[in-house]
Amino acid sequence: MTTTPLFLRNTWYYALPGEQLKLGQTLSKTLLSEPIVFSRDCSGIVCAKRDETKSYPTCEVQGNIWIYMSDSDSQPQESVPQVPGFENQSYQAVETIRFPCDVDHAVVGLIDPAHIAFVHQAWWWRSPQILNEVIKSFEPSLYGFTMQRHPLEQQTFFYRLVGRNPHIEISFQLPGIRIEQVTTEKHKVCNLTAITPISDTETEETTIFYTTLAWFPLLKPLLLSFTRSFLNQDREILIKQQMGLQHDPPLTLVGDADAQSRWYYRLKAEFARSQMQGRPFVNPIKAQTLHWRS
């Protein structure tokens, strides 16, 4: 039996917001422990090079620069993850944070549904005293799984402003991309969260917002400050978790609340195995309904 590598290769990773790389400029950034130099020529085309001999395919869509981290000269088979309904449009807000942990802990922290009640406590969000029974249906989707579209029960004041009858759908795909779509009778508010490994011990998380709300710019400072406090709460927990992990405790993922984390590890293992064996990826996730309290 072989172990799954920490970094998957031959897949698209979120690199940086396009606005960070101006015309005719270069920017260096470490990704997957490799120093990469991004450059944008005078016609706007973005390139990514590791050194004189190695360059990586890049793609700029919806205001974001993605990089295809191949392990040879292989070319991307799949297109870059995109937020549906916002084709050829840039984002309206973006927030980035770095976590002092590896990519797996960052992804599990992102998709763990039970942590919300315990990690994200704020008066404007929800009270920690109430744990509700949650039942959600999932189905396999491209390199991941999707929580099927359903009515949004817990409405924060932001979603009350968005419109009536909100529904939510959340999809996750390797290597660490989560797309949340909230639709109301009139509007659509989406966010794409991308996890990018910087090194074995550092991971970047970028949250990017897309909306059809004309008044969104008015609320943007408030939303970004909420997002920042959310991300900082995640960061605090990951720092505490790293302290606990120094003692090498046995890690177990139990019950339906941890099912998505188990799926992540299974998807990752299958992705690595399929490449090693030179065969197509076979999604190991089966359609399923999960129950947990949050």
| Interface with Fe ion (CB under 5 A) | 234
Strand order in the sheet with 144-151: 93-99, 203-211, 188-197, 177-183, 167-173, 144-151, 133-141, 288-293
We find the least distance from the C-beta atom of residue 109 to Fe ion, in angstroms, to be 6
CB nearer to Fe ion: pick between 102 and 234? 234
**Residue 64: which of 206, 226, 197 has the closest Cα?**
206
We find the least distance from the C-beta atom of residue 212 to Fe ion, in angstroms, to be 25
CB nearer to Fe ion: pick between 46 and 192? 192
Q: What is the dihedral of CA 116, 181, 285, 267, to 10 degrees?
A: -80
* 3-class secondary-structure state, position 37: strand
CB nearer to Fe ion: pick between 97 and 198? 97
Which H or E run includes 9? none
Whether the upstream peptide bond of residue 175 has omega within 30° of 0, thus cis, is yes
Residue nearest to Fe ion (CB): 234
Q: What is the spatial distance between Cα 250 and Cα 245, in angstroms, rounded to a whole number?
A: 9
We find the least distance from the C-beta atom of residue 115 to Fe ion, in angstroms, to be 6
* Burial environment of residue 217 by CB neighbours within 10 A (0 to 12, 13 to 18, 19 or more): exposed
We find the least distance from the C-beta atom of residue 237 to Fe ion, in angstroms, to be 8
CB nearer to Fe ion: pick between 104 and 234? 234
We find the least distance from the C-beta atom of residue 241 to Fe ion, in angstroms, to be 12
CB nearer to Fe ion: pick between 244 and 250? 244
